[in-house]
């Protein structure tokens, strides 16, 4: 099953809406609560990244009985050095964004910690595409 | 813990219910439907918050309590009275009068529920320190909140603090104190004077406990009426002299909003009223809010002062308890005998893990759940999204789910009916029958009495 959400750039009051909607679906599908938590935490981080850094984007979530496959696609500045961006504490967030409690530089690392697989594709000046995969079978 | 058995104190009287759907609209867990002209409760979704009880215009929803006469089957009859009980009376009524009236109504002993608070508070601090991984800790105080977490936020059951609430501690204490005086335990009846439905449900099917120490439950309004009548009419009974203040300032205010949170070190938040609690738990579950150490969550507005079984205005009750308390001393030595039982009580203060009991899923089997979700979203696309409730479900989304679950028929929607009447798929008679199956026959007479 596929679920799509549009993410608005710069609107922090709506950051988290996609994660909350998708969370509700996962609960209805009887996914294990602890796995839901990992999915939602990583999706939320990715969602906030799009709101903060990009000029908008979308989230496409595909669910089957074995896994959740999430694509977060944005149009934005892109990440010049992905390896550096993965380091804890690295952040390009503006002071304004940091004041709001975002941009602590833990985002990508936090996604990686919660996901079973994280693929980052990015082109400077074009945009970033995150693919987050979480397996649904506990092993 | 058996999750299948789930006692509910909230009951709907089929005779009194007029099928107005007010309760269905306000239920925060969408646990109510209207069928055949009466409200029905999906018991596995209900968390006993009492919103429906407050909304019912004809008092068809009631809270099941023990017969007051039942106290007389015990030789020693303990009233476990919460502090908010005392806050209901007008200022001119003294605490001595209230104690006298409770005893005159048949009890032999009175224990304030919050006697266990000071002991608990020390333990909460230790617990918080030794469980740094469980942030934020969710207080185990409000049983409606515990049930809400189990049903709606299953991933957060791990955050619930596994310590007995003051009620259970004090119940243990009073039983132990009396048995130590040589009283036969079988002759002791411990009756809790409850401010809400959730506490009753927690006693009848305790979460995280094998059994409850409490013999029976009396609704607070029942005892309030008896006590107030006695105070207003009795002129002959000598007032009893109550022992010096049992309760510390902390204990008096424990069941009010911020009662717990203001004492727990670190970043502690107090949130009251069930919709506020739900809104906040959504964010906690998404990990949107970090760095919170402790959450005091209460289902009622103004916490227990707003319990559905209280007779006085919640703001006045809270204000009275806050003004009582400066009289009470805060030193441990003033708190009576409970300190003598500290070790006994602390050994028994832990409760078992609280298990998730998610009732959000469309099916246990994920493939089946996906099929039902597909069906539900197809149905939703046909529905008007007016959330009018005329179908007997609380909103269009819930109705779509009900159809997918096989518990409703799309022709219950009045918009669908109109469409199908026009295309000839449904006769006016058939659509009337459809509505009668939801709202009962009585609502369709032109001169309804």
Please write the tens of the pLDDT for every residue from B338-350: 888 999 999 999 9
Phi, psi of A37 (to 5 degrees): -60, -45
Share above pLDDT 90 across residues of chain B, in percent, rounded to a whole number: 71
Phi, psi of B48 (to 5 degrees): 60, 35
Beta strands in B121-187 (DSSP E): 137-138
Cβ burial B21-52 (10 Å sphere, 16+ → b, else e): bbbbbbbbbbbbbbbebbbbbeeebbbbbbbb
Contact state of A29 with B362 under an 8 Å Cβ cutoff: yes
Distance from CA of A1 to the nearest CA of B (A): 8
Where exactly are the structural domains of chain B? 10-63, 68-347, 366-444
Nearest residue, CB atoms, B286 vs list A25, A33, A40: A40
* Cα–Cα distances in angstroms (integers) from residue B19 to residues A47, B12, B40, B60, in the given order: 43, 11, 9, 10
pLDDT given for residue A53 in this prediction:
87
Question: Under DSSP, is residue B182 helix (H, G, I), strand (E, B) or coil?
Answer: coil
Nearest residue, CB atoms, A29 vs list B154, B287, B361: B361
What is the arithmetic mean of pLDDT over B346-359? 88
d(CA A136, CA A63): 9
Nearest residue, CB atoms, A28 vs list B285, B286, B360: B360
d(CA B339, CA B341): 5
Ramachandran quadrant class, A130 (left: phi over 0; alpha: psi -120 to 50; beta: rest):
beta
Contact state of B155 with A41 under an 8 Å Cβ cutoff: no
What is the arithmetic mean of pLDDT over B2-28? 84
Nearest residue, CB atoms, B155 vs list A16, A29, A33: A33
pLDDT band at B333 (very low <50, low <70, confident <90, very high): very low
Nearest residue, CB atoms, B366 vs list A24, A30, A34: A30
Question: Under DSSP, is residue B41 helix (H, G, I), strand (E, B) or coil?
Answer: strand
State the best of B29, B30, B136, B155 to mutate against chain A, taking most chain A CBs within 10 Å: B155
pLDDT band at B356 (very low <50, low <70, confident <90, very high): confident
Ramachandran quadrant class, A10 (left: phi over 0; alpha: psi -120 to 50; beta: rest):
left
Contact state of B364 with A30 under an 8 Å Cβ cutoff: yes
- Count of A-B CB contacts under 8 Å: 61
Query: Dihedral through CA A111, CA B150, CA B311, CA B164, nearest 10?
Result: -100
Please write the tens of the pLDDT for every residue from B20-69: 999 999 999 999 999 999 999 998 889 999 999 999 999 999 998 889 99
Does the structure show a pLDDT above 80 at B4?
no
Contact state of B373 with A19 under an 8 Å Cβ cutoff: no
pLDDT given for residue B148 in this prediction:
95
Domains of chain A: 2-135 (3.30.565.10)
pLDDT band at B246 (very low <50, low <70, confident <90, very high): low
**Top CATH class, B10-63:** alpha beta
Please write the tens of the pLDDT for every residue from B288-326: 887 899 999 999 999 999 999 999 999 999 999 988 754
- What does DSSP say about strands B76-81 and B188-194: parallel, antiparallel, or unpaired? parallel
pLDDT given for residue B410 in this prediction:
95
Does the structure show a pLDDT above 70 at B330?
no
pLDDT given for residue B400 in this prediction:
96
pLDDT given for residue B331 in this prediction:
42
- Long-range pairs of B333-341 with CB within 8 A, sequence gap ≥ 24: B334/B244, B334/B245, B334/B248, B335/B115, B335/B118, B335/B246, B335/B247, B335/B248, B335/B251, B336/B115, B336/B243, B336/B246, B337/B177, B338/B115, B338/B116, B338/B118, B338/B119, B338/B170, B338/B173, B339/B119, B341/B173, B341/B176, B341/B177
Number of other residues whose CB lies within 10 A of the CB of residue B281: 21
Please write the tens of the pLDDT for every residue from B393-446: 999 999 999 999 999 999 999 999 999 999 999 999 999 999 999 999 888 876
Computed over every residue of chain B, the mean pLDDT equals 89
What is the arithmetic mean of pLDDT over B255-261? 96
Distance from CA of A107 to the nearest CA of B (A): 12
Confirm if B78 and B109 have CB atoms less than 8 A apart.
yes
Confirm if B208 and B149 have CB atoms less than 8 A apart.
no
Contact state of B155 with A20 under an 8 Å Cβ cutoff: no
Contact state of B288 with A29 under an 8 Å Cβ cutoff: no
Contact state of B285 with A23 under an 8 Å Cβ cutoff: yes
Contact state of B370 with A20 under an 8 Å Cβ cutoff: no
Distance from CA of A101 to the nearest CA of B (A): 9
Number of other residues whose CB lies within 10 A of the CB of residue A93: 17
pLDDT band at B1 (very low <50, low <70, confident <90, very high): very low
Please write the tens of the pLDDT for every residue from B268-290: 999 999 999 999 999 998 888 87
Confirm if A18 and A121 have CB atoms less than 8 A apart.
no
What pTM, to 2 d.p., does this model score? 0.88
| Residues of chain B found within 8 Å of residue A16, distances taken between Cβ atoms | 283, 286, 288
Q: Is A1 on the interface with B (CB under 8 A)?
A: yes
Residue B424 tokens read as: 């000839």
Number of other residues whose CB lies within 10 A of the CB of residue A95: 7
Distance from CA of B159 to the nearest CA of A (A): 12
| Residues of chain A found within 8 Å of residue B154, distances taken between Cβ atoms | 27, 33
Please write the tens of the pLDDT for every residue from A15-69: 889 999 999 999 999 999 889 999 999 999 999 989 988 888 999 999 999 999 9
Q: Is the peptide bond before B244 cis (omega within 30 degrees of 0)?
A: no
Of the listed ranges A16-30, B82-96, B351-365, the one predicted with least confidence:
B351-365
| Residues of chain B found within 8 Å of residue A136, distances taken between Cβ atoms | 366
Query: Dihedral through CA A81, CA A86, CA A91, CA A92, nearest 10?
Result: 30
Does the structure show a pLDDT above 80 at A91?
no
Share above pLDDT 70 across residues of chain B, in percent, rounded to a whole number: 92
């Amino acid at each position: 099953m596929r679920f799509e959400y549009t993410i608005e750039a710069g609107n922090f009051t709506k950051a988290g809406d996609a994660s909350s909607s998708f969370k509700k679906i996962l609960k209805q599908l009887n996914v294990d609560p602890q796995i839901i938590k990992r999915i939602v935490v990583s999706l939320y981080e990715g969602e906030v990244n799009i709101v903060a850094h990009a000029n908008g984007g979308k989230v496409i979530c595909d669910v089957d009985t074995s896994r959740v496959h999430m694509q977060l696609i944005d149009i934005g500045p892109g990440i010049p050095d992905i390896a550096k961006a993965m380091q804890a504490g690295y952040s390009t967030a503006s002071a304004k964004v940091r004041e709001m409690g975002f941009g602590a530089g833990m985002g990508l690392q936090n996604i990686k910690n919660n996901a079973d697989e994280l693929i980052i594709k990015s082109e400077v000046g074009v945009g970033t595409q995150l693919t987050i995969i979480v397996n649904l079978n506990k092993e | 813990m058996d999750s299948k058995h789930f006692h509910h104190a909230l009951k709907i009287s089929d005779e009194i219910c007029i099928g107005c759907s007010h309760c269905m609209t306000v239920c925060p867990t969408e646990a109510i439907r209207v069928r055949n002209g009466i409200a029905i409760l999906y018991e596995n979704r209900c968390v006993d918050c009492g919103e429906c009880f407050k909304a019912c215009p004809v008092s068809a929803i009631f809270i099941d309590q023990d017969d007051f006469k039942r106290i007389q089957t015990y030789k020693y009859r303990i009233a476990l009275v919460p502090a908010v009980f005392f806050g209901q009376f007008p200022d001119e009524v003294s605490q001595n009068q209230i104690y006298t009236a409770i005893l005159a109504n048949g009890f032999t002993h009175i224990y304030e529920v919050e006697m266990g608070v000071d002991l608990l508070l020390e333990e909460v601090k230790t617990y918080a320190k030794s469980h740094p991984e469980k942030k934020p800790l969710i207080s185990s105080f409000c049983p409606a909140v515990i049930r809400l977490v189990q049903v709606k936020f299953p991933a957060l059951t791990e955050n619930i603090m596994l310590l007995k609430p003051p009620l259970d501690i004090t119940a243990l204490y009073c039983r132990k104190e009396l048995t130590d005086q040589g009283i036969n335990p079988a002759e002791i009846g411990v009756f809790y004077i409850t401010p809400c439905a959730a506490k009753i449900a927690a006693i009848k099917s305790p979460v995280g406990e094998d059994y409850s120490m409490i013999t029976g439950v009396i609704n607070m309004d029942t005892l309030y009426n008896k006590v107030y009548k006695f105070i207003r009419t009795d002129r002959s009974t000598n007032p009893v002299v109550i022992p010096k203040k049992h309760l510390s300032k902390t204990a008096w205010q424990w069941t009010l909003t911020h009662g717990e949170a203001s004492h727990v070190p670190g970043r502690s938040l107090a949130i009251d009223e069930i919709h506020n609690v739900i809104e906040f738990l959504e964010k906690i579950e998404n990990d949107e809010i970090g760095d919170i150490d402790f959450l005091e969550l209460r289902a009622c507005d103004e916490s227990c002062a707003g319990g559905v079984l209280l007779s006085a205005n919640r703001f006045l009750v809270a204000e009275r308890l806050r003004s009582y308390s400066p009289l009470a001393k805060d030193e441990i030595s003033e708190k009576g005998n409970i300190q003598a039982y500290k070790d006994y009580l602390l050994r028994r203060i832990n409760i078992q893990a609280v298990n998730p009991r998610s009732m959000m899923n469309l099916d246990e089997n994920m493939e089946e759940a996906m099929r039902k979700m597909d069906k539900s979203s197809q149905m939703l696309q046909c529905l008007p999204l007016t959330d009018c409730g005329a179908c007997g479900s609380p909103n269009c989304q819930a109705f779509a789910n009900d159809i997918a679950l096989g518990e409703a028929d799309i022709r219950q929607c009045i918009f669908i009916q109109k469409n199908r009447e026009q295309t000839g798929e449904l006769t006016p008679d058939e659509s009337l029958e459809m509505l009668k199956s939801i709202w009962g026959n009585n609502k369709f007479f032109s001169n309804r009495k």
